[in-house]
């Protein structure tokens, strides 16, 4: 719980219809299993202590008394259990009968929540036996406990975990247009539990799944949905024990036609960050609160939820291809608009034979096709120098030729030597001056070629490089429009691979050169080659981009602390990298991220394509001289 993860569970015990004593036993047995598994919040089915399908038996005093006795039994049997549990039962109040959720912990009833919206259509006839939740609440005595709050829209806040606030609604409440969960979320609830008895029909599970996930997205909350299953009457319908756990639009866990527990973890810290970030949510806060408090023992929550190692890259091929299509469309539309607005005659791209410049020239080609302009309007400039290998140079040339671009080769070796002579730099000194001198000369060439041809220089640097500051200030850092500026390195590779497979002209030679570019090590090629091979590999110097993209996503998208990012990275990458390697590169990431902000503060324009971007005009307004001490202190504690 220190990192904000709260273990939650759906529970679907076997129902013994109208046998309240046996249902009580099933209930506390499941609660004990949940407690043993470290679960802190458990949601059980609607009317679980009686069974949902009792019909007119709900009129019987014997059944109602049996339900209350069953709750008392559960309270006594679980008086030492910390798990906060929502139990369904019928409750009498002011000569009316209500379909309710009793929220219990350590043998105490924290509150009773009546159902607001009662279905009375098709197979449902709840208004025959039950009344909807009253507009005004009340206090009742239940199981010998006095002054138990009885009303809808109650919330339950944990005193030890800031932001952990629970709310509960029942079945149809979710399906209604004015779900109680909306007001509870506005009042601060971050985790909503739903006690349900939703029968199964063809296609209904898909609709139910959409409701749960979209409600969690709309309310920026965790949503724990439990439906009844085996044991309910099958006279006319079947109940499939559908269990769903969702968080902010993502389905974390699901089970159907199977009883027992379904466990996952809700990241309350993440939800609170998103609510703070999304000001429109705060503007809708609902001040009429009916809040209780409860306590939990602090400890480290075991993670069972899946942590994607590459959060920027969808794992399914279909989703990944769709993501690639959208990114290419957004980026090329942005460049199309810029070329139209400026009246540029050409688009000048420095081609190195590497991944980033390849993606940039491919996006440029898509933009020109949208404008119905010839590919010759792309001026592809190769600028070999001391570190250029035949492989990358040849790939750049072939790529330009296959695209039909205007190819221009400018060997910058003599210019750089002359510059080094002017400033008194020894050619044998391969320091940062040696590297940056080449990068800035290339940018000067590109800018001058753009002036010659009436064009714009198209930037090639990607999001990952910008985050690390792995670019030469006023060198490859600068352009007239940067099409890759919000595309992370892990996704650049997939975009090029997608275009290699699906190039519109089905050009086999183009596919071959793109595949070879994909196989080429990432390198700025600023140090002399060794026996014709690349001697300078970026990931040997700054670390694996797959790790840095992981760090970047959780730092900027969710505002996570170094310790939490480290924990998640260990979960996602621990089988490939040991903890010392992950920590080493995490420290490198933070050091470079803070020290290199001055480069991001003067970025050229470029299109935002995803939820993480570093433009100073949009997503990242950060001082260049901010202290890293707080983050460094936490990193040091991870030794």
Q: Among all residues, which ones are annotated catalytic?
A: 46, 115, 171
* Helix, strand, coil percentages in the chain from 3-state DSSP, rounded to 5: 40, 20, 40
CB atoms within 10 A of CB 26: 23
Which residue in 52, 53, 32, 107 sits closest to 76, CA to CA?
107
Residue 603 contacts residue 466 (beta carbons within 8 Å): yes
Which residue in 46, 188, 67, 190 sits closest to 124, CA to CA?
46
Q: How far apart are CA 379 and CA 400, in angstroms?
A: 9
Q: How far apart are CA 590 and CA 571, in angstroms?
A: 20
Contacts of 505 (CB under 8 A, 6+ apart): none
**Listing from the earlier edge strand, what are the strands of the sheet with 290-294?**
250-255, 243-247, 222-227, 191-196, 165-170, 154-158, 290-294
Q: How far apart are CA 3 and CA 41, in angstroms?
A: 17
Place of tokens 């029942």: 170
Residue 524 contacts residue 353 (beta carbons within 8 Å): no
Residue 421 contacts residue 452 (beta carbons within 8 Å): no
Contacts of 68 (CB under 8 A, 6+ apart): 89, 142, 143
Q: How far apart are CA 401 and CA 395, in angstroms?
A: 10
The β-bridge partners of 41 are 8, 84
Helix (H) or strand (E) holding 453: helix 432-453
SS3 488: coil
SS3 167: strand
SS3 330: helix
**Listing from the earlier edge strand, what are the strands of the sheet with 378-382?**
406-409, 378-382, 346-350, 455-459, 481-482
| Residue 424: half-sphere exposure toward Cβ, Cα within 13 Å | 0
Q: How far apart are CA 469 and CA 432, in angstroms?
A: 14
Q: How far apart are CA 637 and CA 358, in angstroms?
A: 41
Which residue in 33, 40, 32 sits closest to 1, CA to CA?
40
CB atoms within 10 A of CB 509: 11
Which residue in 465, 496, 521 sits closest to 331, CA to CA?
496
| Residue 103: half-sphere exposure toward Cβ, Cα within 13 Å | 30
SS3 424: coil
Q: How far apart are CA 322 and CA 78, in angstroms?
A: 49
Tokens of 191: 């985790």
Maximum Cα–Cα distance across the chain: 101
Residues for the chain: how many in total? 639
Place of tokens 């973890």: 265
The β-bridge partners of 381 are 350, 408
């Amino acid at each position: 719980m220190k990192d904000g993860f709260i273990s939650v569970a759906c529970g679907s015990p076997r129902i013994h219809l109208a046998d309240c004593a046996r249902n009580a036993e099933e209930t506390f047995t499941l609660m004990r299993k949940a407690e043993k598994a470290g679960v802190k919040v458990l949601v059980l089915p609607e009317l679980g202590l009686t069974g949902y399908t009792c019909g007119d038996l709900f009129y019987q005093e014997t059944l109602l008394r049996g339900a209350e006795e069953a709750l008392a039994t559960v309270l006594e049997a679980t008086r030492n259990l910390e798990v906060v549990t929502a139990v369904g039962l019928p409750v009498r109040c002011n000569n009316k009968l209500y379909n309710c959720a009793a929220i219990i912990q350590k043998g105490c009833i924290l509150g009773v929540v009546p159902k607001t919206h009662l279905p009375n259509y098709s197979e449902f006839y709840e208004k025959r036996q039950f009344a909807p939740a009253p507009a005004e609440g009340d206090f009742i005595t239940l199981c010998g406990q006095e002054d138990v709050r009885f009303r809808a829209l109650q919330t339950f806040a944990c005193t030890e975990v800031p932001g952990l606030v629970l709310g509960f609604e029942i079945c149809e409440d979710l399906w209604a247009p004015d779900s109680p969960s909306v007001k509870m979320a506005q009042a601060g609830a971050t985790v909503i539990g739903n006690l349900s008895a939703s029968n199964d029909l063809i296609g209904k599970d898909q609709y139910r799944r959409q409701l749960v996930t979209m409600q969690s997205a709309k309310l920026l909350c965790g949503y724990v949905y439990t439906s009844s299953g085996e044991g309910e009457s099958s006279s006319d319908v079947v109940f499939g024990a559908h269990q769903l756990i969702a968080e902010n639009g993502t389905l974390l866990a699901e089970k159907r036609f199977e009883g027992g527990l379904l466990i996952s973890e809700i990241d309350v810290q993440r939800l609170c960050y998103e609510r703070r970030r999304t000001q429109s949510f705060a503007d809708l806060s609902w001040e009429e609160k009916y809040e209780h408090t409860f306590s939990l023992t602090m400890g480290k929550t075991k993670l069972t939820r899946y942590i994607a190692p590459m959060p920027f890259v969808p794992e399914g091929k279909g989703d990944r291809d769709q993501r690639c299509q959208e990114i290419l469309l957004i980026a090329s539309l942005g460049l199309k608009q810029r070329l139209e607005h400026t009246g540029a005659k050409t688009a000048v791209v420095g081609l190195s034979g590497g991944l980033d410049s390849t993606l940039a020239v491919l996006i440029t080609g898509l933009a020109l096709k949208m404008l119905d302009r010839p590919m010759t309007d792309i001026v592809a400039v190769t600028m070999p120098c001391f570190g250029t290998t035949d492989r990358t140079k040849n790939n750049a040339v072939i790529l330009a030729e296959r695209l039909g671009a205007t190819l221009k080769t400018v060997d910058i070796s003599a210019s750089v030597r002359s510059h080094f002579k002017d400033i008194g730099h020894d050619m044998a000194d391969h320091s940062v001056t040696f590297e940056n001198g080449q990068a800035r000369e290339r940018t000067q060439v590109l800018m001058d070629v753009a002036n010659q041809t009436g064009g714009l220089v198209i930037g090639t640097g990607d999001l990952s490089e910008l985050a690390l500051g792995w670019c030469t200030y006023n060198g490859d850092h600068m352009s007239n429009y940067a099409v890759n500026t919000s595309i992370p390195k892990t996704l650049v590779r997939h975009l090029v691979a997608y275009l290699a497979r699906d190039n519109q002209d089905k050009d086999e030679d183009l596919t071959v050169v793109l595949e070879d570019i994909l196989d080429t090590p990432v390198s700025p090629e600023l140090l002399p080659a060794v026996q014709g091979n690349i001697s300078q590999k970026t990931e040997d110097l700054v670390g694996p981009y797959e790790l840095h993209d992981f760090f970047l996503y959780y730092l900027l998208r969710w505002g996570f602390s170094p310790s939490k990012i480290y924990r998640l990275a260990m979960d996602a990458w621990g089988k490939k990298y040991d903890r010392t390697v992950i920590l080493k590169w995490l420290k490198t990431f933070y050091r470079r991220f803070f020290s290199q902000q001055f480069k991001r503060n003067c970025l050229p324009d470029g299109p935002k394509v995803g939820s993480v971007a570093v433009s100073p005009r949009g997503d990242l307004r950060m001082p260049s001289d901010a202290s890293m001490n707080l983050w460094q202190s936490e990193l040091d504690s991870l030794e």
